Structure 1
Amino acid sequence: MSSQRWLFKYIGLFIIFLVGIFFSISSYYFVEAVEYENLQLEFQKRSDSRINSFKREMVRNFEVLTGLRAFFSASPNVSRDMFLAYTSSVLKGRSSIQALDWIPKIKKDERPRYEKLAKEEGVTNFVFTEREQGVMIPVKNRDVYFPVYYTAPLYDNEMALGFDLASNPRRKKTLLQSIQKNEMIGTNPIILIQGREKQKGFMVFVPVFRTVDNSEKQQQELLGFVAGVFDVEKIFRAALKHADGSTRGLWFSIFDRTNKKRKFLYQEVFDYADTWNTYKQIIFVAQRKWQIVIYATNEFKNIHLKSNSFVVMLISLCFTFIIFAYLKVVLDKHQKNEEIVKLRTQELSIREKQYQQLEQMAKKMEELARTDPLTKLSNRRHFLEQMEIERVRSIRSNKPLSIILIDVDHFKSFNDLHGHSCGDFVLKSLTGTMKSCIRKQDLIARWGGEEFIILLPETNIDGCRIVAEKIKDKIASQTYLYQDKKLSITITAGATTHKNEENIDVCIKKADDALYKGKERGRNEVVTN
C-alpha cells in the first residue's frame, strides 16, 4: 500500500512537470512562428526596395535614349560633332552606359555619300561592314542598311563604326519589332567588349521618325535608331546605393526569361548551400521579360531574427523546474527514511561496478602501453622487452635470432600530396601486407614514424633476407587504392643477425646501418649487415 501511495504521488508530480514542459515548448514555437513571419516580411520589404530601386535606375538610363531620340527628331541633320558634344554631356556620371549609337536608315544608292561624308568627318577608312565567320568584311549589297554611324564614347567602340545591324538576323528582327511597335526594344544578353571578361549587358533600340506631309495626310518616315549598350552589373550596383537598409546577407541574380529560356545577365557568386530563402520577381525591361532572384543566406537570418522565443521558453522552463523542485523536495522529506537503506544498497552496488571498471581500465591501459594506436602493432617499448627475452633464449639455446628494420620510401610525399590521412592509410595497409609474410612466432612492431621492425626467432641471416625480400616484393607488386587514387609503395629494409656478445642496441644499430646503405643505393632494396 505504501509503495502504491508513493507511486501515485510521483505520477502526479510527473504529470505537472510534463504540462509545464508542454506549455514551454508551445510558447517557444508560437513566438518563433511570429518571429519568422516578421523575418519573412523584412526580407520581402528589403527585396522590393532593391527591385524598385533597380527599376528607377533603369528608367534613369533609358531617359538618356529618350532624350537622344528627341535630339534627332528635332534636328534631323545632326553632325558627328554635334552628336559627340551632346552625348559627352549626358554620359557624365553614367558609367553603366557603355555606348550610345546613331543608326540611320540608309538606302542602297545613298551608301557612297554616307561613307564619303564619314571620311570627311575624320573617320578614316570608314565603310559599311558585316561579320562573316568572325571576320569583319565590306557589307554585301542590299536595299537598306542600318549601320552604326555615330558612337560615343569613341574609346573601345570604334570597331563598331560602320557595322550594319541588318546583316545580323537577330538584330534585324529586333529593329523590325521596334519599328512596328514604335517603342524601345531590348536585345538578348550580350558580352560587353568594353567590360571585364564575359561581362554581360544588353542593347536597346529606339526608332526615330519624322512627320512627312503627303498630298492628303501626314505620314511617319523612319530616320533610323538611337541605341544604347548598358552594363547590367553597374546599373544594379548603382541601384543598391539608393535602396533602404543594408545588403549584408543578400545575394542577387538577374536572368532574361523572354523566350522561356533562362539567360544569365548578372549573378553574384556565393555558397548556395547557405541559402535560407529566395525571392523572385518578374519585371519588364524594354519589352524584355527579366527575372530578379534575391537570395537570403543564414547570415541575413541571424542578423534580423530576434531570439525572443528562446527567452520565453527559458523563463517557462525555469518556472516549471522551480515548481517541480519544490514539490519534489516536499515528497523527498516524507520518503527520506525509506530511501536510506536503498541508497546504501545502491552505493555497495556502485562500488562493486566501479571496482570492475577499474580492473577493465587497468587491462586496457596495459594493452595501450604495449600497442601502437594507429597500426595496432606492438610499440617500441614492447618490442624491446620481447627482444630481450628472445636474446636470452637465443644465447641459452644457441639458436640464431634476426631482425629486419623497414622504412617506407618517400613517405613524406604521401602526406604532402594527399594529406596526413593518406600517410595513416599507407602505414595501416603495409601492416596487413607485412603480417601476411611472417610466421605466428615472429613479432612485428612500429619502430617510429614510417619505420617498422620485425623480430625473427630461430632465423639465420639467409632466412632473414628471404623474409625481407618477400615483404619488399609483395609491397612493390601491389597497388593500394586510396580515395580512388592508386598508390605505388616501396620499402627499404636492413637485416641483421644478433651475435651472442652483442646487446640489443648494437644489433639494432647494425640493422639501421644496413637500412641507410639501402637508401643510398636508391631505395626499394634489402641490405644485410
Structure 2
Amino acid sequence: MYTILVTVISVFISVVITTFFYYYINNNSIWLAISISVFVPILIAPWITWKMTKLIIKYHSLQNLMSSLANEDFLTGASTRRYFFERAETEFENIRITGEYCSILLLDVDRFKEINDQYGHVCGDNVLRAVGGVLKEIQRPADIVGRYGGEEFILFLSNTGIDSAFLYAEDLRCKINRLDIVSNNKKVIVTVSIGLADIGSVPNTASFESLINLADKALYKAKASGRDKTVAYENQHKSSNA
C-alpha cells in the first residue's frame, strides 16, 4: 500500500516540476524539465519510502500497543472482561452448533481482602500477578482466560466436559496452593475456590450468561462450604476437599 502512495507522490512532484520548468523558464528548457522530472523522483523516492516505512512501523507498533492495552489486563496478563466475553461468546455459539463440549470455570482468591489488610495492597497485587502466571502456565491453546473482576478470574475451556474440567480445575487449585509468596519475611498463604459448569448443564437454547450463572452458583457453594475447593455444577454433587 505504501509503495503505491510513494509512487503517486513521486509522480505528482514530477508533474509539478515539469510544469514549472515548461511554463516559467522557456520552451527551450523542455528537455531539461523532462530530465529533471525523471531524475527527481528517482532521487527522492528512497527518502520518501524510508520516511513512510518508519511511519507505518510506528503506526503498527502503536496499534499493537493499544490493542494489547484494550484486550489484556496489565496486572495479571489475562484477557480483560470485555475481550473475554467477545471471544468466549463466539466460541460458545460455535460449539453449540457443532455439538461439542465446553466448560466455564469461575475462580476466586480466598480471603483476598484479608491479604490486602494484613500485608498491604502491593502484596495483594503480587498475589493476583502470581495467580495470573499460573493461569497462563496451564492455559491450553484453545482456552480463554479472563479477569472477571477484582480477585475473580473466568476460564472458558473448549472441548472439555465436566469431568475433564474438574481435573483441570483441581490441578489449577493445587498449583496456586503451592505459590511461594513472601511479604515482610512471612509466607502468604494463597488458596482459591473454583466453581464450574459445562454446556451440558444448560438447555440448548440457553445463553452464555446462563452457563456462567451456574458456575457462579457452584463457586458460591465452594466458598460457603469452607473455601479452597472445587465444586462442579452437576447437581453439585462433585466437589473436592482441601
Task: Tell me if both proteins adopt one fold, taking TM over 0.5 as the criterion.
Answer: yes
Deviation at 1:352, TM superposition (A): 5.5
Task: Establish whether residue 525 from structure 1 lines up as the match of residue 226 from structure 2.
Answer: no
Once residues 362 and 435 of structure 1 are traced to their aligned partners in structure 2, the CA distance between those partners, rounded to angstroms, is 24
Deviation at 1:487, TM superposition (A): 1.0
Task: Point out the structure with max Rg over C-alpha.
Answer: 1
Aligned residue for 1:445, secondary structure, equals strand
Aligned residue for 2:138, secondary structure, equals coil
1:275-290 to 2 correspondences below 5 Å: none
Contact 1:438 1:467 (8 Å CA) reproduced: no
Task: Establish whether residue 407 from structure 1 lines up as the match of residue 95 from structure 2.
Answer: no
Match of 1:475 in 2: 176
The code of the aligned residue for 1:513 comes to: K
Deviation at 1:370, TM superposition (A): 0.9
The code of the aligned residue for 2:224 comes to: E
The code of the aligned residue for 1:518 comes to: A
Once residues 401 and 455 of structure 1 are traced to their aligned partners in structure 2, the CA distance between those partners, rounded to angstroms, is 7
**Match 1:377 to one of 78, 100, 103:** 78
The code of the aligned residue for 2:105 comes to: I
Change (3 A) 1:440 1:483: farther
Deviation at 1:358, TM superposition (A): 2.3
**Match 2:96 to one of 385, 389, 395:** 395
Q: Deviations over 1:317-341 (max 9, x none)?
A: xxxxxxxxxxxxxxxxxxxxxxxxx
Aligned residue for 2:103, secondary structure, equals strand
Change (3 A) 1:367 1:482: same
The code of the aligned residue for 2:192 comes to: I
Match of 1:453 in 2: 154
Once residues 393 and 355 of structure 1 are traced to their aligned partners in structure 2, the CA distance between those partners, rounded to angstroms, is 36
Contact 2:107 2:154 (8 Å CA) reproduced: yes
Once residues 514 and 349 of structure 1 are traced to their aligned partners in structure 2, the CA distance between those partners, rounded to angstroms, is 58
Contact 1:443 1:455 (8 Å CA) reproduced: yes
TM-score normalised per structure 1? 0.33
- Alpha-carbon RMSD across the aligned residues, in angstroms, is 2.2
Once residues 443 and 389 of structure 1 are traced to their aligned partners in structure 2, the CA distance between those partners, rounded to angstroms, is 12
Once residues 424 and 392 of structure 1 are traced to their aligned partners in structure 2, the CA distance between those partners, rounded to angstroms, is 34
Match of 1:416 in 2: 117
TM-score normalised per structure 2? 0.69
Is the helix fraction higher in 1 or 2? 2
Match of 1:332 in 2: none
Deviation at 1:355, TM superposition (A): 4.2
Contact 2:104 2:154 (8 Å CA) reproduced: yes
Once residues 478 and 407 of structure 1 are traced to their aligned partners in structure 2, the CA distance between those partners, rounded to angstroms, is 15
Match of 1:443 in 2: 144
Query: What is the aligned-residue identity percentage?
Result: 36
**Match 2:129 to one of 419, 424, 428:** 428
Structure 1: unaligned runs, 5 residues or longer: 1-344
Once residues 100 and 134 of structure 2 are traced to their aligned partners in structure 1, the CA distance between those partners, rounded to angstroms, is 27
Aligned residue for 1:436, secondary structure, equals helix
**Match 2:58 to one of 357, 376, 389:** 357
Once residues 105 and 161 of structure 2 are traced to their aligned partners in structure 1, the CA distance between those partners, rounded to angstroms, is 12
Once residues 138 and 128 of structure 2 are traced to their aligned partners in structure 1, the CA distance between those partners, rounded to angstroms, is 16
Once residues 198 and 226 of structure 2 are traced to their aligned partners in structure 1, the CA distance between those partners, rounded to angstroms, is 24
1:64-463 to 2 correspondences below 5 Å: 353-463=54-164
Contact 1:390 1:401 (8 Å CA) reproduced: no
Structure 2: unaligned runs, 5 residues or longer: 1-45, 234-242
Once residues 383 and 396 of structure 1 are traced to their aligned partners in structure 2, the CA distance between those partners, rounded to angstroms, is 20
Once residues 528 and 348 of structure 1 are traced to their aligned partners in structure 2, the CA distance between those partners, rounded to angstroms, is 59
The code of the aligned residue for 2:222 comes to: G
Once residues 184 and 100 of structure 2 are traced to their aligned partners in structure 1, the CA distance between those partners, rounded to angstroms, is 46
**Match 1:505 to one of 209, 218, 239:** 209
Match of 1:307 in 2: none
Deviation at 1:452, TM superposition (A): 0.7
Contact 2:100 2:159 (8 Å CA) reproduced: yes
Contact 1:408 1:490 (8 Å CA) reproduced: yes
Contact 2:119 2:183 (8 Å CA) reproduced: no
Match of 1:484 in 2: 185
